[in-house]
Structure 1
């Protein structure tokens, strides 16, 4: 089955998808478009879900909320950002960068004192720079090579440990006993004192490790949130899920294992 991922050519999503799935991939312009197509059942998808520097990817989390897709795998990719420029970076009139990339490279970009113009992807930043002789762009090495851009400054990310976690998504959940993690979407529907403590206690009492918990607006108004929870599968996790269902609305986003990324 074809795997959809974020384009144009040269995004980190494209680079990882090519490493995992070879040529059987298709590039789409937005994460929402990917998730919507996957929900239709004609393809799988690979999308970024969180970054070690910038946190959760809002477009992916919202898409998981709206569309009936399942997470069937995860992969981790070290992310290195480079500043492409045709001359002195401090003489640039603008720098093109994806919003998450901007956050991941904020220290260097803020020090330049130039306007940062947001784009839909790192590859889109490269395309925009091609059309603007007075601008630079924050790009991957692959994107710089594809679009023929000179790299002026290398490794401008705030952290040397900068890593993005991607998830493989499908219209159907994964089958099999080799899964190591499970993701849940928890919607309390209402607010009350001690609610979050009650939710966490369901797992703590059973010794279940949560690898991630993130709140997102429910879009029902200020102060109303849903929670994305990732847990390590261990004894009692199904019982914990059932207890949680008696307290809140719970949707299982999928159980999965880590995908091994071929060495580049």
Structure 2
């Protein structure tokens, strides 16, 4: 068994993978979320990808992967997110801060107070720590595990804007499968035409069936200005299958999977 996640070691994705890995399951680390999707398809393994944060919103690279590949969602996880400000230098010596763009947004209040330091975005929280470990007079916004990995003193803990900061992760696989009693389903609405009332009609289907939407997000279809697709997550009830069938009668629909929330120790 193998589990594909965003690396390097020290990312939140890697921390979650360590908690949920099955016995003897190998963790493969990849440099981008897109690479995780590719590995899941080519190696027929499962992967873990972040999809949204309570502070910073949706993760575009994951949404693109769901839209553009045949990977399907098989489970979801919710992970409390704590950010740490780390450096080998005192605060008044720091001239540059490394941070992932999402972490920057999640810690914007704290970072906005550090006006004398330049902020440089990185590909992951672990990469931020790696840069701070070798660049003079630098600091990083990172995870506790990455701070330990690169031997970086913690100057301030819990610098995230909200104490309830949470990231939702998805488990993805190459095959289509779902439990007999899913808690949620995810779809992408891909409009066949741009006409008045289309979105109203789509939402009306859920309302008539008494189905609660837990998330709706528009994203450019990449087919021209003003053309969008809509990612929708909804709770299942006795009418969820009929709902998907009714949606397909009025618009394009890509089913991303029906699944349950999983817990971890």
Q: Fold-level match, TM-score > 0.5?
A: yes
- Point out the more displaced range, 21-30 or 70-79: 21-30
- Kindly indicate whether the alpha-carbon contact (under 8 Å) linking 2:75 and 2:260 is maintained by their aligned counterparts in 1: yes
Length-normalised TM-score, structure 2: 0.96
Deviations 1:16-69 (A, max 9, x none): 011000552111111000001112243110000000000000010011111100
Aligned equivalents of 1:39 and 1:250: distance in 2? 21
Q: Look up the SS of the partner of 2:44 in the other structure.
A: coil
The residue that corresponds to 1:69 in the other structure is 71
What residue ranges of structure 2 are gaps of 5+ in the alignment? none
Partner residue in 2 for 1:104: 106
Contact map agreement 2:179 2:258 (CA 8 A) in 1: no
CA-based RMSD? 1.1
d(CA) in 1 for partners of 2:208, 2:123: 43
Q: How many residues align?
A: 262
Deviations 1:135-177 (A, max 9, x none): 1000111110111001111111000000000000000122431
Q: Distance in 2 between matches of 1:57 and 1:90?
A: 33
- Alignment TM-score, normalising by the size of structure 1: 0.96
Asked whether the equivalents of residues 74 and 177 of structure 2 are also in contact (C-alpha less than 8 Å), the reply is: yes
In the alignment, the residues of structure 1 paired with residue 6 and residue 48 of structure 2 have an alpha-carbon distance, to the nearest angstrom, of 8
2:87 counterpart residue number: 85
Task: State the partner residue of 1:20.
Answer: 20
- 2:104 and 2:241 map into 1 onto residues whose CA distance is 39
Deviates more, 1:251-260 or 1:87-96: 87-96
**Separation in 2, partners of 1:191, 1:130:** 51
Could you list the runs of 5+ residues in structure 1 that have no partner in the other structure? Answer: none
Could you tell me which residue of structure 2 aligns to residue 3 of structure 1? 3
Q: Is the 8 A contact 1:218 1:224 kept in 2?
A: yes
- Whether the aligned pair in 2 keeps the contact of 1:90 and 1:112 (CA below 8 Å) is no
Counterparts of 2:192 and 2:256 in 1: how far apart (Å)? Answer: 18
